[in-house]
Amino acid sequence: MNRSLLLKLVTILVGILMNTNQSVCAASANSITVTPFGKTSSGREVDLYTLENKQGMKVSIMTYGATVVDVIVPDRNGNLGDVSLGFDTFQPYLTKSPYFGAIVGRYGNRIANGRFTLDGKTYQLATNDGPNHLHGGVKGFDKRLWTAEIVRSSSNSVRFTLVSPNGQEGYPGTLHLAVTYTLTDDNALKISYEATTDAPTIVNVTNHTYFNLAGAGNGSILGHELKLGAAHFTPVNSVLIPTGEIKSVKGTPMDFRKPELIGKRIKEVGGNPIGYDHNWVLDKKLLPGLKSAAEVYEPTTGRVMEVLTDQPGIQFYSGNFLDGTIKGKGGKVYDQYDGFCLETQHFPDSPNEPGFPSTVLRPGEVFKSTTIYRFSIR
Ligand code: GLA
């Protein structure tokens, strides 16, 4: 039996299994479909898993990079639109994607000079961002082929797993990582991370989806309204490495405690290129668990995206490096500020900052984390 026939058969079987799991009165059921999406440079097949919920929201994730390829949600008139930047086909993901939708790690964001010391031993990681290590190095988790499996015990989940051997990109310890994407019926995309190691290491994994709530390729995000649950941020030097300071947002363009237009004070942020590319320190709540980290509202479509997480920080990146050279979905050009990322995370360069929460994972421990992107309309 050929491969695409087999995939179709899997899809039909999953549909049948899922329907029997659901209440009989459900008008339209959840479904998961699997389709071939392309081939890596070494000829390995890449599959695309599409989750759909009862409201018609759809999220597609591919096995390369465990990458979110599409996020299709309704606007206030019920029209569905894709709010995530990316490509229609697989090939450009191999050659020109600035981490569109991908899982980044083993350490998301930057480590100064790609160097850190753990238990008295200094490790040199791959450097791929000037002198620094960014998003896991030259071939991070975003450029690896993951194994996918539909989660039987859930109504709409796919679990992606990856083994990152000891020494890969310079990291100590073999890391086993699982990332589970779940699409719920209240239009939330839940991302759960779980990791273990066989030797002490550092871990900071996140998802790097670029959103534009007016629809990918439909202009700039400067007119989106952003609210962040953070009274502090971590200032950076000229190459975006935190200085170690935890600074109040008060009186600065980093103050999003009340909803503000992203574009309102962006020019004052500085940087090269100018814009937001910083980590905010999420306010601690008395109760442990998920906190509301961010909320974004797009006035023309009425779309709202809320971000909930158990992580201590969030990187708000305003798409500063997009420069019009990438043609994305539907042939639309992505210019500067045409997408934003809200990457829930530990603070950048934590391994070199004793004052930041630790990112060390030791044998016997299980790293667990959850982030939810929930969509609604206003
Ligand atoms: C992250 C970084 C940015 C940039 C983008 C990818 O958000 O913080 O500086 O590297 O990824 O272009």
129 CA → ligand 1 middle, Å: 10
Domains within the chain, CATH numbers bracketed: 31-377 (2.70.98.10)
pLDDT tens column, 58-104: 999 999 999 999 999 999 999 999 999 999 999 999 999 999 999 99
131 CA → ligand 1 middle, Å: 15
> Considering only CA atoms, which of 43, 75, 44 is closest in space to residue 57?
75
Whether pLDDT at 287 is above 90: no
> Considering only CA atoms, which of 306, 218, 222 is closest in space to residue 260?
222
Percent of the chain predicted with pLDDT > 90: 89
Atom of ligand 1 nearest to the CA of 99: 6
Residue 114, both tokens: 């790609």
Look at the alpha carbons of 218, 220, 223, 224 in this order and tell me if their dihedral is positive or negative: positive
341 CA → ligand 1 middle, Å: 9
Nearest CA to ligand 1 atom 6: 98
pLDDT tens column, 160-196: 999 999 999 999 999 999 999 999 999 999 999 999 9
The dihedrals phi and psi of 328, each to the nearest 5 degrees, come to: -100, -150
Look at the alpha carbons of 235, 237, 240, 244 in this order and tell me if their dihedral is positive or negative: negative
Specify whether the CB–CB gap between 304 and 291 falls below 8 A: no
User: Does ligand 1 come within 6 angstroms of the Cβ of 51?
Assistant: no
Atom of ligand 1 nearest to the CA of 277: 8
Residue 209, both tokens: 């989806």
Residue 351, both tokens: 């391994």
Q: Which residue in the list 133, 208, 278, 346 is annotated as catalytic? A: 208
| pLDDT reported for residue 43 | 97
Specify whether the CB–CB gap between 345 and 311 falls below 8 A: yes
User: Does ligand 1 come within 6 angstroms of the Cβ of 85?
Assistant: no
Whether pLDDT at 378 is above 60: yes
Residues in the chain: 378
Pocket test for ligand 1, best of 134, 276, 334, 342 (most atoms within 8 A of CB): 134
User: Does ligand 1 come within 6 angstroms of the Cβ of 109?
Assistant: yes
Residue type, 232: H
pLDDT tens column, 344-374: 999 999 999 999 999 999 999 999 999 999 9
206 CA → ligand 1 middle, Å: 12
208 counts as catalytic: yes
Biggest distance spanned by C-alpha atoms of the chain: 65
| pLDDT reported for residue 25 | 29
176 counts as catalytic: no
Residue 47, both tokens: 């599959």
Indicate the pLDDT class of residue 154, thresholds 50, 70 and 90: confident
Give Cβ neighbours of residue 213 (< 8 Å, ≥ 6 apart).
83, 221, 224, 296, 297, 298, 301, 303, 304, 305
92 CA → ligand 1 middle, Å: 18
Mean per-residue pLDDT, 282-293: 82
